[in-house]
């Protein structure tokens, strides 16, 4: 099979979906430009023309309500934001209008909208260009929220999102764009709402979101070296969350560590912990633990940024604590950074 980067997989999916279905339109600030949202939209404008792929004024709010109107009249809009932070300008349309439109109109109204936004760490992006905000979206009934971590899932879940008759928020981490993996050439759907177990293990279950999936698999490999067997589960869809495999896994291992790519406070990780606490009451050998962002705005300077973001090392240390192991020597281990890119596959 061919290897594609995550960015190429997203781009291929957009091409195939626009070819398959003339009602799909793709737009957003900078979408048809020559840099094309980290390369994911390059060439779409040339191929499909300005009616179907277009740039917009810097007007996130109107262009979100616009998606609802277009969707009600038969189009399938994909609205792209180069940072999830900019989506905050459109929260009124997303939360007050789009998310509940089907409900308010009797339950039979297709609202096929995809909001794609790039999340997370870049390079000194600071407090206003780096958020994830998973829980902002997962909190809202009526929104599906997807956060793939592999090129194959990126392509399949985006196709599923575009074909879904509900609004889907599609969140992709910037560093994932570099990852390469085998990606089928033909068009396919990866079902929304289905988790994937990436590694089996008996000592500890790690549920990881978005970029933390990469870090969790890295951590699992390190921990395997000292005989700790970690099961890594990628929910892939954050809402609705596929809890069954997570619960089954925790019943097996008795230990759960949630590695969320977000703040912990009132976050998605707390939600997963609450569900597992109910379902696995009496089966847990250890309290559930979580790792995520530091409870601060994101600083720009690298030295503090490194303490703000969790990585494989944070996960290893927490796993050791949960298994009452002494901290191992990690001095020779290379962790991923902007300069030391992980290119995959997992």
Degrees, nearest 5: CA angle 222-345-226: 10
89 binds ligand TPP (CB under 6 A): yes
Of 37 and 216, nearer to ligand TPP (C-beta) is 37
Partner from ligand TPP, other proteins, none binding residue 297, C-beta < 5-8 Å depending on class? other proteins
**Which of 231, 319, 248 has its CA nearest to residue 283?**
248
Q: Measure the CA–CA gap between 310 and 299, rounded to whole angstroms.
A: 14
In the list 19, 47, 96, 123, the residue contacting other proteins (rule: CB under 8 A) is 123
Q: Measure the CA–CA gap between 38 and 54, rounded to whole angstroms.
A: 16
Least distance between other proteins and beta carbon 314 (Å): 13
Least distance between other proteins and beta carbon 245 (Å): 35
Respond yes or no: is residue 338 known to be catalytic.
no
Size of the site for ligand TPP (CB under 6 A): 5
In the list 57, 74, 107, 227, the residue contacting other proteins (rule: CB under 8 A) is 57
Q: Going residue by residue from 270 to 309, which x/- string records binding to other proteins, judged by CB under 8 A? A: ------------------------xxxx-xxxxxx--xx-
**Which of 139, 127, 47 has its CA nearest to residue 91?**
139
Q: Measure the CA–CA gap between 163 and 155, rounded to whole angstroms.
A: 13
Of 64 and 253, nearer to other proteins (C-beta) is 64
35 binds other proteins (CB under 8 A): yes
Respond yes or no: is residue 12 known to be catalytic.
no
* β-bridge mates for residue 233, sequence order: 197, 207
In the list 29, 117, 118, 319, the residue contacting ligand TPP (rule: CB under 6 A) is 29
**Which of 109, 346, 122 has its CA nearest to residue 234?**
346
In the list 96, 109, 128, 265, the residue contacting other proteins (rule: CB under 8 A) is 128
Instruction: Tell which positions 197-226 bind other proteins, by CB under 8 A.
Output: none
Of 89 and 100, nearer to other proteins (C-beta) is 89
95 binds other proteins (CB under 8 A): no
54 binds ligand TPP (CB under 6 A): no
Least distance between ligand TPP and beta carbon 39 (Å): 17
Give the active site residue among 8, 12, 17, 60: 60
The tally of CA atoms less than 13 A away on the side-chain side of residue 63 is 23
Least distance between other proteins and beta carbon 301 (Å): 3
The residue range among 37-45, 83-91, 103-111, 249-257 that interacts with other proteins, by the rule CB under 8 A, is 83-91
Give the active site residue among 129, 173, 177, 218: 129
Residue nearest to ligand TPP (CB): 86
Least distance between ligand TPP and beta carbon 28 (Å): 9
Q: Name the site residues for other proteins (rule: CB under 8 A).
A: 29-30, 33-35, 55-62, 85-86, 88-89, 122-129, 294-297, 299-304, 307-308
Q: Name the site residues for ligand TPP (rule: CB under 6 A).
A: 29, 58, 60, 86, 89
Any idea which residues carry the catalytic annotation?
A: 60, 129
């Amino acid at each position: 099979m061919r290897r594609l980067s995550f960015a190429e997989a997203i781009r291929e999916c957009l091409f195939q979906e626009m070819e398959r279905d003339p009602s799909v339109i793709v737009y957003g600030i900078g979408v048809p430009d020559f840099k094309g949202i980290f390369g994911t939209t390059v060439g779409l404008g040339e191929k499909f023309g300005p009616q179907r792929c277009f740039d917009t004024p810097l007007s996130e709010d109107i262009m979100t309500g616009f998606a609802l109107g277009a969707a009600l009249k038969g189009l399938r809009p994909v609205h792209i934001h180069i940072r999830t932070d900019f989506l905050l300008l459109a929260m009124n349309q997303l939360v007050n209008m789009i998310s509940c439109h089907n409900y308010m109109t009797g339950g039979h109204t297709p609202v096929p909208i995809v909001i794609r936004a790039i999340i997370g760490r870049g390079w000194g992006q600071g407090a206003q260009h780096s958020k994830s905000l998973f829980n902002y979206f997962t909190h809202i009934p009526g929104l599906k929220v997807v956060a793939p971590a592999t090129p194959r899932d990126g392509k399949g879940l985006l196709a599923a999102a575009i074909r879904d008759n509900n609004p889907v928020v599609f969140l992709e981490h910037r560093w994932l764009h570099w990852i390469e993996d085998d990606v089928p050439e033909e068009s396919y759907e990866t079902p929304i709402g289905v988790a994937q177990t990436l590694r089996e293990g008996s000592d500890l279950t790690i549920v990881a979101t978005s970029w933390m999936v990469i870090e969790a698999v890295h951590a699992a490999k390190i921990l395997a070296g000292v005989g700790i067997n970690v099961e890594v589960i990628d929910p892939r869809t954050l809402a609705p969350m596929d809890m069954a495999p997570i619960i089954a896994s925790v019943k097996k291992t008795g230990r759960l560590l949630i590695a969320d790519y977000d703040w912990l406070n009132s976050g998605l990780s707390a939600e997963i912990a609450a569900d597992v606490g109910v379902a696995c009451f009496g089966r847990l050998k250890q309290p559930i633990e979580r790792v995520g962002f530091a409870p601060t705005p994101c600083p720009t300077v690298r030295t503090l940024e490194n303490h703000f973001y969790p990585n494989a090392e944070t996960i290893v240390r927490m796993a050791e604590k949960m298994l009452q192991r002494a901290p191992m020597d990690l001095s020779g281990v290379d962790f991923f950074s902007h300069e030391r890119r992980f290119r995959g596959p997992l």
